[in-house]
Amino acid sequence: MEKLHTNQTGGPVAGAPENAKKKMPPWLAGLIGLAVIVGVYGILKLLIWTEVISIYYADYLNLILINMILGLGLNLITGITGQFSLGHAGFMAVGAYTTALVVLNTSGSLVSILGGILLGAVLAGLLGLLVGIPTLRLKGDYLAIATLGLGEIIRIFITNTDQKVLGGSAGLSGFPIFTTFEMAFFGAAITFVVVRNLLKSSYGRACVAVREDEIAAESMGVNLAKVKIMAFVVGTFFAGMAGGLFTGYMGIIQPKSFDFMKSIDILMIVVLGGLGNIWGTLVGAIVLGIVNIFLQDLSSVRMIVYALLLVIIMLVKSGDTRFFVWLRKLFNWKKWTPAFLSKKSGVK
């Protein structure tokens, strides 16, 4: 917030900025954010109700919203805190199988479904805590390899467990498709609000400090272990929640749905939207969702398209020719961001 320059009597002094503005109150910013969420929900619901968005695309929209949750959780770990994780699909599997078991062994009511999703998210977060304590001492490629191994261990464990318990390689089925647009939308909205508020808090600033320079952050009193573990726990919690919603979206879950390539899909969302950019994560999930719609009959070339997208992103972000400089100016999100979302209003 800009301060007005005043003299001893409280009046303005010469040279004081005439257009000094006060920062928007947090309650007003929160109210506007809530209005935006409700407005977006209302618009999408109206488009679905009037069949402007067909039943097929409305169903696929749920998957895009689930991918937003996954991307936001991984962005907190990799983009904001700087911990390279390649095992996000494993924590998603924990939430998916927990939710499936709860639904199969209960009445299947809304309460049991929501309870199963919450339980799956909590278990994924606890597993993230147990795994994060030893593994987050690693850095860079070593951490990536460790998390990759963890994701594969979870998948192989599920595959080799007694078929009567987790279904083995055939997976689990027999439960209804229960993930609705409302569940997916408000799940994504809650995830976004939590991650964004964390990023704006002192804890979020500590995460960014750890990402930029761990030595400098530690010298300023930041507890590196605590920051890394908390980011990992929150990120894996939301991965578990997304896994529970994915269970209700598919109606059947199998270990092969949570392999290494699924972790790459989630990482692509984060990279495409920009590391540390939570708004970009939403855009990345939408773009990749659209790409997958067009490539669903050409699954063999999907990874080639992903690779091309990565190359294009790197060129646009770091290319120094006139064309790439022009593109960066054209797609400068700050230029198009509404005033109440800009830094002038205190919102990053």
Same domain, 29 and 172: no
Same domain, 88 and 131: yes
Same domain, 80 and 136: yes
Total tally of structural domains belonging to the chain: 2
Same domain, 163 and 194: yes
Tens digits of residue pLDDT in 263-317? 888 988 888 888 888 888 898 899 888 888 877 777 677 777 777 877 777 777 6
Contact 95, 80 (CB under 8 A): no
Q: Is residue 174 part of a domain?
A: yes
What is the predicted pLDDT for the residue at 135?
A: 78
- Which candidate, 122, 121, 123, 103, places its Cα nearest to that of 113? 103
What is the predicted pLDDT for the residue at 341?
A: 47
Same domain, 204 and 232: yes
CA 67 – CA 265 distance, rounded (Å): 9
What is the predicted pLDDT for the residue at 335?
A: 52
Q: In a 3-state reduction of DSSP, which class is residue 26?
A: helix
Same domain, 34 and 96: no
With a CB cutoff of 8 Å and minimum separation 6, the contacts of 17 are 2, 4, 5
Same domain, 114 and 153: yes
What is the predicted pLDDT for the residue at 75?
A: 92
Q: Which residue, chain included where needed, has tokens 């919102």?
A: 347
| Two structure tokens written together for 148 | 């990759």
Q: Which stretches of the chain score pLDDT less than 70?
A: 1-22, 26-27, 299, 317-320, 324, 327-328, 330-348
CA 109 – CA 103 distance, rounded (Å): 8
Same domain, 192 and 82: yes
CA 2 – CA 345 distance, rounded (Å): 11
Same domain, 47 and 155: no
Residue 121: which domain range? Answer: 61-259
In residues, how long is the chain? Answer: 348
Same domain, 153 and 180: yes
As a whole number of Å, the CA-based R_g of the chain is 22
CA 25 – CA 345 distance, rounded (Å): 9
Beta-bridge mates of residue 253 = 172
Q: Is residue 242 part of a domain?
A: yes
| Two structure tokens written together for 286 | 């939408």
- Which candidate, 98, 100, 105, 89, places its Cα nearest to that of 119? 98
What is the predicted pLDDT for the residue at 92?
A: 93
What is the predicted pLDDT for the residue at 104?
A: 87
CA 243 – CA 165 distance, rounded (Å): 18
Domain boundary among 259, 283, 310: 259
Domain boundary among 202, 235, 259: 259
Q: Is residue 117 part of a domain?
A: yes
- Which candidate, 245, 262, 237, places its Cα nearest to that of 66? 245
What is the predicted pLDDT for the residue at 118?
A: 94
Same domain, 159 and 81: yes
Same domain, 92 and 227: yes
pTM, 2 dp: 0.82
**Around 151, how many Cα atoms within 13 Å sit in the side-chain half-sphere?**
26
